[in-house]
Structure 1
Amino acid sequence: MILSSQSDTPAATGDAAGHRGTIRGWGSFVLILISLIVEGFDLQAANFAAPSIVEDFGIDRAEIGPLLSASLIGVLIGALTIGPLGDRFGRRTILIACCVAYGTLSLIAALAVNLPQLIVLRFLIGIGLGAVLPNALALAGELAPRRLLATATGLVGIGITFGGVVAGAVAAHYLPTHGWPALFVAGGVLPIAIALLLWLALPESPAFRPGAAPKAATAGVRAVLAPEFRGRTLAIWLIFALVLMVIYLLSGWIPLLIRDQGYSLAQASWIATGVHAGGVAGGVCASLLLARAQWKIVAIFAALAALSLLLLAVHNWGMGMLIALLLLVGFFSTGTQNGLNGSASATYPAAFRASGLGWALGLGRVGSILGPLAGSLAILLGLTAARHFFLIALLPLAIAALLALWLARRQRLAPPMDEGQ
């Protein structure tokens, strides 16, 4: 059972009440998962719409860069500034408000008549997206039994990855006939619809219900950098940045690697899809393992991702082995990220969990911005073959694994205490 209540057994009111609580808990989990699938869709919408935007506005491909970066910068700001408000006003409140906000902005973006308008709107959309993720992750964990907090948080985060797959499918179907506005219309209608469902059916976190323990006097970044959390927080920030840098490096260079091996565009598309499928499987696997261990799982997956990348980089493999290694890379790299989401959530108490996740996810976006630039660094270092670019990812993953092992030891010595849950 993933979600039923904050205790691991049904309440004393009887089996029927416990069964109803289990159904409500699973329903809440599914709603949060759908909200993150929708967020993943919106995060990728501009990437898939870019070719159509270039053609429609008659601009050069080089001019599209600011549009693709705008939402990432917005996500960083939203996670750092709006996301922590969930510790003050409640996760559910911020989640619903931000879904409505970025959905409305996406509908407006569909009416944009030039590139500067789209850039500004995508930046504002990114702010809303950045605030949704930490509160959705925190709420999913807090609606689960305490022993499954990290598992529930990790599992629900898979919605972001799956949302990118959905965006690709929608783009393939509607872009040829309806153009780029269709993606932004879908990216507007979907979050507004899910916001209505969240308002009707999603409960608030137990930490914000009547009778819960008073909120901490200190929240936000001051709370996560308090002496007892400072070391762990700085380590978590660095791991998020390193892992997201690797993931965005891979997303940028895997297609190049496949094409560099001489495969057709159709073959490259199927192989890239397999990488995403491996990522979903890895995210599920890592999240389920978090019930037994948390930061140790992050360390293991990061180390195995590094090993997979090393094998990928040292030899010019045939198609069968290439696909197998890319599946492993997707499995372990995405598994590392989902394990990281769950473990970080379990590190902080409910009083400032959204702040802890918001700052980690926000600062992690610095890594996502730097990731694609690592390819340029590889060229400067003389790594001209596409497969050699993956050597750049080995050191970040090794550092992430070592930091995760250190956090596992600290977590064992100082586990978080969630009052009021």
Structure 2
Amino acid sequence: MGLIIFYGVMNWMPTLLGQTTLEPGTAKRLVGLFALGGLGAIASGYLMDRYNPNILNAILALLTAILIAFIGQGLSWGLMILVPIVILAGIVMNTLQASLPAVAALFYPTEGRTTGVSWMMGIGRFGAVAGSYLVAELVKRNYSLEEIFIVLAIPAVIMMFCLLLKQFIYKR
């Protein structure tokens, strides 16, 4: 789910924002600011050592959904609002994405940990492909910028529910 969002945003945001009133160079810089959010991933280990990883990541997923949806609205609010939204969305999304392999490693017993995490990472790559195709299909169907980013927020909501479900089903 996370890679659907990440690659949908990274591959399509320059094109989508370039078709608006923004200069093409500004649209490309915004994508760079989203990717810069990877610096927030540095905090993921610290936070996961101190808080319940499932709940923490569920909160990050909820924040990701909200901020990704706000990117589509941000143009109507102005560039001074859009830039911080894109930076925060990148920080939250990348922190969440960096935390998920550790959450998976905590879930599987030692003898199956490598296999479990590898399957998670491998299946996640389908999301990387799906994200780009999803946005292409939305563009083809003439979805508005706001609608595209709302659709891109849905996988984060699904992720949040899955993490909460995991927390309540598997107490350990």
TM-score by length of 1: 0.38
For 1:319, the equivalent position in structure 2 comes to: 79
For 2:45, the equivalent position in structure 1 comes to: 287
Hey, what's the Cα distance between the residues in 1 that align with 2:142 and 2:22?
24
Could you list the per-position Cα deviations for residues 374-406 of structure 1 after superposition, in whole angstroms to 9, with x for gaps in the alignment? 1122135431x3343112122211111001011
Partners of 2:6 and 2:131 within 8 A in 1: yes
Hey, what's the Cα distance between the residues in 1 that align with 2:81 and 2:110?
45
For 1:374, the equivalent position in structure 2 comes to: 134
Could you list the per-position Cα deviations for residues 354-374 of structure 1 after superposition, in whole angstroms to 9, with x for gaps in the alignment? 101111111111111111011
Q: Percent identity?
A: 21
Hey, what's the Cα distance between the residues in 1 that align with 2:145 and 2:12?
7
Hey, what's the Cα distance between the residues in 2 that align with 1:398 and 1:348?
24
Deviation of 1:312 after TM superposition, in Å, equals 2.1
- Identify the structure with bigger relative contact order (alpha carbons < 8 Å, sequence gap 6+): 2
Deviation of 1:279 after TM superposition, in Å, equals 2.7
- Code of the aligned partner of 1:289: L
Partners of 1:257 and 1:387 within 8 A in 2: no
Partners of 1:286 and 1:339 within 8 A in 2: yes
For 2:37, the equivalent position in structure 1 comes to: 278
Provide the secondary structure at the position in 2 that maps to 1:382.
coil
For 1:147, the equivalent position in structure 2 comes to: none
For 1:258, the equivalent position in structure 2 comes to: 17
Could you list the per-position Cα deviations for residues 230-272 of structure 1 after superposition, in whole angstroms to 9, with x for gaps in the alignment? xxxxxxxxxxxx1211111111122123323333344334322
Structure 1 residues 314 and 265, CA gap change in structure 2 (3 angstroms):
closer
- Code of the aligned partner of 1:284: I
For 1:355, the equivalent position in structure 2 comes to: 115
- Give yes or no for the alignment of 1:328 onto 2:53: no
For 1:306, the equivalent position in structure 2 comes to: 65
Hey, what's the Cα distance between the residues in 1 that align with 2:149 and 2:109?
37
Partners of 2:69 and 2:146 within 8 A in 1: no
Partners of 1:301 and 1:333 within 8 A in 2: yes
Listed as ranges, the matches of 1:89-128 within 5 Å are: none
- Code of the aligned partner of 1:247: F
Q: Gaps (5+ residues) in structure 1?
A: 1-241, 416-421
Hey, what's the Cα distance between the residues in 2 that align with 1:388 and 1:331?
22
- Code of the aligned partner of 1:325: I
Partners of 2:64 and 2:92 within 8 A in 1: yes
Could you list the per-position Cα deviations for residues 297-343 of structure 1 after superposition, in whole angstroms to 9, with x for gaps in the alignment? 11111100111122222352311111111112111211221121111
Structure 1 residues 367 and 409, CA gap change in structure 2 (3 angstroms):
same
- Give yes or no for the alignment of 1:248 onto 2:39: no
Partners of 1:314 and 1:388 within 8 A in 2: no
Q: 1:364 aligns with which of 115, 119, 124?
A: 124
Listed as ranges, the matches of 1:334-345 within 5 Å are: 334-345=94-105
Partners of 1:306 and 1:397 within 8 A in 2: yes
Cα RMSD (Å) of the superposition? 1.9
Provide the secondary structure at the position in 2 that maps to 1:329.
helix
Instruction: Decide which structure has greater helix share.
Output: 2
Q: Gaps (5+ residues) in structure 2?
A: none
- Give yes or no for the alignment of 1:397 onto 2:150: no
